[in-house]
Amino acid sequence: MSDELVRMERINKFFGRVQALSDVTLAVRRKEIVGLLGDNGAGKSTLIKILSGALRADTGDIYLRGNRVDIRNTTDAMAYGIETIYQDSALVTELSIARNVFLGREPVKNPRWLNRLDQRLMSEVARESLRKAGITKEIPPTTPISALSGGERQAVAIARAMHFESDLIILDEPTNNLGVEETKGVLRFVRSARDSGHSCIFIAHNIYHVFQVVDRIIILRRGKKVADDIDPKRTTIEAVEELITGLEINKGV
């Protein structure tokens, strides 16, 4: 168990009287890409929001490298090296690329009490990390996000996650609303993340995308974990679909 990066143990979450998660346990090892699948309302997003600090669990513990941690908000999660990339990229469209990459963690020039943004550093880093994220087109870092395409926006979100050296990158439906080439770019990023030492949790509706990149699949259904160690190389998509919906598709055959 020494190569375990994150463990969420017996997580419970209620919204009013609805139990969104019941006793869910999830572990991600170092350099492992885990696919998290489930139908709408299965609890995927809730589980991920708890790990990224956007929600708090009612009961249950989170361990990071074997130590119990308390993730109270998104700032805590980022400080522990957990980055989340949401489907809508979670960017501020009015702000420039550089300002988005550093949002919430802006570098400040000396003297610190002036609180002055180091705009030159921000631009340089933004340009460099966009290139690493696979954007070959020359886009000035001062361009507002509103002028970018969906794929370029996702690349900015990915560049941000890569720059801040996060150990675990959570991708919540990153390929929604993307074109074919742009989707390929995101999948390429997920594969390369493992090589550069990151772990990933990959959530997608599109099972084919998940099958292409992950090492292991976890399935949630109605707030419970129904499968934990599905190997995409030795399972069929139909079998996974059955587990997600809980219906036997091939019944009677």
Partner 1 sequence: MHTEFHKGGVRRNSIRFLQSLISRPEFGPFVLLVLEIVVFTARSPAFISPGNISNLLAFTPELGMISLGMTLLMVSGEFDLSVGSVFGFAPIVMWTFYNTHTTSLEIGFLVAMLISAVIGFVNGWFVTKLKIPSFLVTLGMLLVVRGTALYITDGFPQRTWTSDSLLMRVIVGEFRLADLRIYTSLLWFIFFAIILGYVLAGSKAGNWILASGGNPEAARARGVRVTRTKMTLFILTALISAYAGITSSIRVSAANPNSGTGYELEVIAMVVIGGTALSGGRGTIVGTVLGVLILRMMRNGIVLIGVPGLAYNIFIGGIILGMMALHSWLERRHRTGT
Minimum separation from the CB atom of position 30 to partner 1 (A) = 25
DSSP secondary structure letters along 49-113: HHHTTSS--SEEEEEETTEEE---SHHHHHHTTEEEE-TTTT--TTSBHHHHHTTTS--BPSSGG
Cβ proximity to partner 1, 96 vs 211, nearer residue: 96
In terms of Cβ atoms closer than 10 Å to its own Cβ (0-12, 13-18, 19+), residue 242 is middle
Cβ proximity to partner 1, 155 vs 230, nearer residue: 155
Cβ proximity to partner 1, 58 vs 76, nearer residue: 76
Secondary structure class of 144 (helix, strand, coil): strand
Sign of CA dihedral 71, 72, 73, 76: negative
Cβ proximity to partner 1, 32 vs 152, nearer residue: 152
Minimum separation from the CB atom of position 156 to partner 1 (A) = 12
Minimum separation from the CB atom of position 162 to partner 1 (A) = 15
Binding site for partner 1 (CB under 8 A): 52, 54, 73-75, 78, 84, 86, 90-95, 99, 102-106, 108, 114-117, 119, 144, 146-147
Minimum separation from the CB atom of position 52 to partner 1 (A) = 8
Residue 116 identity: R
Beginning with the edge strand found earlier in the chain, give each strand of the sheet holding 168-172 in spatial order. Answer: 82-85, 168-172, 199-203, 33-37, 216-221, 224-230
The span from the CA of 72 to the CA of 21, in Å, is 18
Count CB neighbours of 86 within 10 A. Answer: 21
Cβ proximity to partner 1, 99 vs 198, nearer residue: 99
Cβ proximity to partner 1, 148 vs 190, nearer residue: 148
Minimum separation from the CB atom of position 64 to partner 1 (A) = 18
Minimum separation from the CB atom of position 99 to partner 1 (A) = 6
